[in-house]
Structure 1
Amino acid sequence: MSDSRRPRVLIVNAYVDPWRSAAPMRLFIPRAMAPYYLAGRFCRDRTDVRVHDEVNHGALLDPRLFEWPDLVVLSGLTAAFDRARQLAACFRHARPGVAIAIGGPIARALPGLCATVFDYVCQGDVESLDDLIDDALGAGRRAEDPGPRFDLVGWSYGLGFVETTRNCNFSCAFCSLTGENRPYRSYSSDEISRQFRAMGRVQMLMVLDNNLYGSNRADFERRVDLIGAHWRRGDFRGWGALVTGDFFKNPDNLARVAANGCKALFSGVESFDPVVLKSFNKRQSLSSDPATLARLCAEHGVLFDYGMMLDFGQQTVAEVDGQIDTLLASTDTPLPALLSLTIPILGTPYFDEAARAGRLMPNLRLSDLDGQKLVEWPKEPLERVVPYVADLLRFRGRKTALLRHAVRHAWSRRSSFDVTQSMISLLGPLVRYGGSLRVGSIRQIRQSWREPRRTYCAMSDPPSVAYRPPRHLPERFARDFEPLYVTDGAGRLTEELQAATAGNR
């Protein structure tokens, strides 16, 4: 790269929307922050850096952006491998000679396959980008004092983001972090403070840790006290974080975070069935009753949110339906912030066990593993389960009950929450399950109209229109728009996938 021109770098979070929309998903919180941490590794004075997040900005369809970069850095969840490959083809056609790198979960799950598609494969954390920068752009393009580029985030509803730890100290069978087997570690106070300086003042702070609590109580207290010091200084009005179920076993933990400005906590309850939790190796959540935890949090002025996964391989429609009806009838219990089907994420113990047991459906694409369609054989006949899933994920037939619950739950917490918390409590479930209008560019809206109707079952769900190569692409790029299949017609792992993952673990 010539020293006479600043190299142009585009960092892309690849994503294919399971709800069949190419428009931006502006209300999805938390936003993907990895691209902005990656952007901070580049020297501001000697590179031009942009970020495109296909969740927050919508599908990347602008031909001018495909022609712009000298270096593209792609990231995303494992299921976005196909999308990353499609984007690489578009960039290479628009700008021959562009260097394309892949990192994050995709690179760690499929390093060998990625090496045949992309120019650089980064399997490490954000720091591993430094060697790539030197090789692709030349010396002097790295930041001397790296820090996240929060200035590139744009408007984010007054939210700021920091990270105080990496990875998780638990090994849930379904979690990609378990498959990657990377150690849990916390940041030093200096590292955390550097992020605060980059963030500046915001309305609310989200701590992006996979598990704020961790395995060292003294270190947890250090990090919470540091966040609290910034809160008392007026850098933000309050903050939220994700914690594991063991956090709530010591009442002092809740009191400590509340005293340091915490306004919201999220915990992965996942299932109300202890048998299901044990099968997930999620014993830390065996005592995580959302009604009890929500009440305890409210007593400290903290909003409680949680995730719920539905496993129709272990539960019947009647059992799941009864749980949902119980939630809707309970004013004290919030509805889950996340409602998903179980996802056998590639590289996890859960995926390996599902493959060995023959639970994976035939002709399964990697991109099908999005949590919004059946990908495993259910306990009951498909003709009973699939229509139920289609209705439940859209709360069809339950809209009135949804509205009634949201209003009553928010009203019941009015004495515990401030105005912002009350609005989140009221509007959160309505936005999640009530449906919302998403508006994007003309290209994004046109692509959304072309999307085939969802069937909520991987065996019948047609691929996204993103798999159709744009008309202007030469035939040599057609291979880049073919899906990576996880299983063959008999439900066995494909030879291509086995070759791609051989030796990973």
Structure 2
Amino acid sequence: MGQLERHLNSIKSTHKTPNKRVLIVNCYFPEMRESIKRSNEVPDTAAPVLLAGFFNPETCDVVLYNEVNSGFIEIYQPALLQWPDIIVLTGLTAAFDRLLHVTAYAKSYNSSVIVAAGGHAVRSLPQYARQFFDYLCLGDVEEIEGVIAESMGQQYVAEVFTPRYDLAYWMRQLGYVESSRNCNFRCDFCSLTATGLPYSAQPVDYLERQLDALGKRFAVVFNDNQLVGDGNKTFDQRIAPVKARIDAGQFQHWFGFVTDTFFWDDTNIQKARQNGCISLFVGVESFADQVWLDKVNKSQNAKRNQVDLITRCLDEGILFKYGLVFDPTERTTAQMYQEMDIICDTPEVPIPLFTFTATPYPGTPMFKQRLENKQILPNTNMRDLESSTLCVEPMQPIDEVVDFIKTGKNFRNYRSKVYRHQIEFMRRYRHSLDWKQKIYANLNVAAILFPRAFSSPLSFSKKARPRTHISTTERLDDIYTPCLPVAAEYRHYFEPTVLVDAGREINPLLQADVLDRVTQSQPLEVLASSSA
């Protein structure tokens, strides 16, 4: 019996009938468009843990459900949809329709259940989303306090914020924390740019509460989008508590997300290593295309030699992880294969963790430009806004681009080169990396060569059906057909949210969100929808 099942049985056995029942769900669509569980996904979500910390444990029974790790809730835990008094939903942009599905199921069972939705999914379409949910949380996790107080009463708000890592069954040896929010850069293709929320380092006591609640773990992962977005103003203050706990034996290491600018000063690398950092992730995006980096407002990545920065990091004993971006409207597959050749021929740099196909997220400069130029493909849905589906008109034959998305981005035709490269890479850094880092480096290679086997090892029994990988013709997931009873007034929640129609025009229902809205630069208030 898993941790989630044990917790559910514990709640049933205590019969706390006066308590409010709270279900917090991280909604998710797997890229392969099948019902699978990505049990080894790294990094994973921390939002449900933080949200749960604002509910009073004396007056609320709280259950967390993570669809990344556990699969679609209506398939694997359908009884949960009948259970809660309030549901809190979160998810990434492409998961917008999943929030609607879960809401429809829960409302069909109990029309009085309160549904609050937040995260990138609703931030991307705040006006459109009002009609579906009782409350929208368009800013940070603290906004849930207002929802709790207004919808249920102040007695259900926690007196002291305490993250509920005890309910996060998907977190095992790694514990995810946040010490800052948003990013100080505004890359044209990034969903963070669409929100317009400013970078902010959080108070140290907020981090301390998370570390206290984590208990003993192998390592802490700073789930910050950019760990040093304010330069070094607060970096020392935020890593000091983690280092103190490493010294005390609570953790062994920490991981984090930074940008190229972090490596411009060698003392940053040395400081990170001395304070327990074992690995850093950076959005390299491209080794060879400085023109494209300038176009997408990521010129900071072109100011220093990438190979030199990576080598310095690894020589100091920190494992370097990164991703590439393929923008088919500006870059050809030949350029991407050139990037892969450069990597395979350069043992000083590791193999990337992934290659992300640039996606026109609503609200981003990339979306605006592609829409104005009629470059977003006909019949593109919100569901298609993930890295395995082509959503834009490429600058070369579509077949070549789709072939790269299906095979090239996972180095399918480079396997022998990757194996040789990895041998040389391990030899090059045999003295600077310890045995744990060498294991991680090899696991990273396995993750990009065999993504399904690595992140979803139990999914081999499910045969993947054919896909076109083109938004205009791509099939919908089976779960767009309800598998549980749905009341008539909620059946339209299962219609896909169309972003661009057959004529490449924006869906009129979304115009207020993606064309008329002004980019937000201030935190957004909690908004009660008209359906509340």
Deviations 1:97-142 (CA, angstroms, capped at 9, x unpaired): 2111111122222222111011111112111111111122223111
Letter in structure 2 aligned against 1:463: L
- In 2, Cα distance between equivalents of 1:369 and 1:378: 16
- In 2, Cα distance between equivalents of 1:453 and 1:237: 44
- In 2, Cα distance between equivalents of 1:328 and 1:258: 27
Alignment of 1:26 with 2:39, yes or no, is yes
Q: 1:4 to 1:320 in 2, by over 3 A?
A: closer
Partner residue, 2:417: 401
- In 2, Cα distance between equivalents of 1:316 and 1:346: 24
- In 1, Cα distance between equivalents of 2:169 and 2:390: 36
- In 1, Cα distance between equivalents of 2:163 and 2:304: 34
Partner residue, 2:95: 80
- In 2, Cα distance between equivalents of 1:328 and 1:395: 10
Partner residue, 2:434: 418
Q: How does 1:302-313 map to 2 (within 5 A)?
A: 302-313=318-329
Which of 216, 219, 232 aligns to 2:247? It is 232
Letter in structure 2 aligned against 1:299: D
- In 1, Cα distance between equivalents of 2:309 and 2:37: 33
Partner residue, 1:150: 165
Q: How does 1:53-68 map to 2 (within 5 A)?
A: 53-60=66-73, 61=75, 62-68=77-83
C-alpha contact (below 8 Å) 1:277/1:283 kept by paired residues: yes
User: 1:157 deviation in Å?
Assistant: 4.1
Partner residue, 1:45: 58
Give the match's secondary structure for 1:486. Answer: strand
Which of 481, 491, 494 aligns to 2:494? It is 481
Partner residue, 1:98: 113
Partner residue, 2:272: 257
Give the match's secondary structure for 1:496. Answer: helix
User: 1:156 deviation in Å?
Assistant: 2.9
TM score, norm. by length of structure 1: 0.94
Partner residue, 1:340: 356
User: 1:43 deviation in Å?
Assistant: 0.8
- In 1, Cα distance between equivalents of 2:36 and 2:476: 17
- In 2, Cα distance between equivalents of 1:46 and 1:406: 54
Percent of aligned positions that are identical: 32
Partner residue, 2:204: 189
C-alpha contact (below 8 Å) 1:409/1:425 kept by paired residues: no
Alignment of 1:138 with 2:149, yes or no, is no
- In 2, Cα distance between equivalents of 1:389 and 1:139: 50
Partner residue, 1:169: 184
- Structure 1 residues 360-369 or 397-406, which shifts more? 397-406
C-alpha contact (below 8 Å) 1:244/1:268 kept by paired residues: yes
Which of 380, 395, 401 aligns to 1:379? It is 395
Q: 1:216 to 1:287 in 2, by over 3 A?
A: closer
Structure 1 alignment gaps of length 5 or more: none
User: 1:190 deviation in Å?
Assistant: 1.9
Give the match's secondary structure for 2:383. Answer: helix
C-alpha contact (below 8 Å) 2:353/2:447 kept by paired residues: no
- In 2, Cα distance between equivalents of 1:155 and 1:53: 8
Alignment of 1:462 with 2:475, yes or no, is yes
C-alpha contact (below 8 Å) 2:354/2:410 kept by paired residues: no
User: 1:175 deviation in Å?
Assistant: 1.7
Give the match's secondary structure for 1:393. Answer: helix
Give the match's secondary structure for 2:412. Answer: coil
Aligned-CA RMSD value: 2.0
Alignment of 1:35 with 2:48, yes or no, is yes
Q: How does 1:281-292 map to 2 (within 5 A)?
A: 281-287=297-303, 289-292=305-308
- In 1, Cα distance between equivalents of 2:429 and 2:350: 10
Letter in structure 2 aligned against 1:192: L
- In 1, Cα distance between equivalents of 2:480 and 2:78: 17
User: 1:145 deviation in Å?
Assistant: 0.6
User: 1:370 deviation in Å?
Assistant: 0.3
C-alpha contact (below 8 Å) 1:22/1:445 kept by paired residues: no
C-alpha contact (below 8 Å) 2:105/2:484 kept by paired residues: no
Deviations 1:61-91 (CA, angstroms, capped at 9, x unpaired): 2321111111111111122111110111111
- In 2, Cα distance between equivalents of 1:387 and 1:258: 40
Q: 1:214 to 1:500 in 2, by over 3 A?
A: closer
Alignment of 1:389 with 2:405, yes or no, is yes
Deviations 1:329-349 (CA, angstroms, capped at 9, x unpaired): 322211111211001111112
Partner residue, 1:179: 194
- In 2, Cα distance between equivalents of 1:347 and 1:329: 38
User: 1:452 deviation in Å?
Assistant: 4.0
Partner residue, 1:212: 227
Tell which has more relative contact order, 1 or 2 (C-alpha 8 A, sep 6+). Answer: 2
Partner residue, 2:523: none
Which of 445, 448, 468 aligns to 1:429? It is 445
Structure 2 alignment gaps of length 5 or more: 1-15, 520-532
- In 1, Cα distance between equivalents of 2:512 and 2:197: 23
User: 1:303 deviation in Å?
Assistant: 0.3
Partner residue, 1:6: 19
- Structure 1 residues 20-29 or 397-406, which shifts more? 397-406
- In 2, Cα distance between equivalents of 1:175 and 1:460: 25
- In 1, Cα distance between equivalents of 2:337 and 2:143: 46
Partner residue, 1:503: 517
Letter in structure 1 aligned against 2:494: F
C-alpha contact (below 8 Å) 1:120/1:132 kept by paired residues: yes
- In 1, Cα distance between equivalents of 2:154 and 2:48: 22
Count of residue correspondences: 498
- Structure 1 residues 406-415 or 279-288, which shifts more? 406-415
- In 2, Cα distance between equivalents of 1:204 and 1:432: 23
TM score, norm. by length of structure 2: 0.89
Partner residue, 2:10: none
- In 2, Cα distance between equivalents of 1:404 and 1:222: 42
User: 1:395 deviation in Å?
Assistant: 3.2
- In 1, Cα distance between equivalents of 2:308 and 2:34: 37
Letter in structure 1 aligned against 2:190: C
- In 2, Cα distance between equivalents of 1:34 and 1:179: 19
Partner residue, 1:293: 309
Give the match's secondary structure for 2:68. Answer: coil
- Structure 1 residues 415-424 or 426-435, which shifts more? 426-435
Letter in structure 2 aligned against 1:81: F
Q: 1:305 to 1:40 in 2, by over 3 A?
A: same
- In 2, Cα distance between equivalents of 1:48 and 1:157: 22
User: 1:4 deviation in Å?
Assistant: 5.5
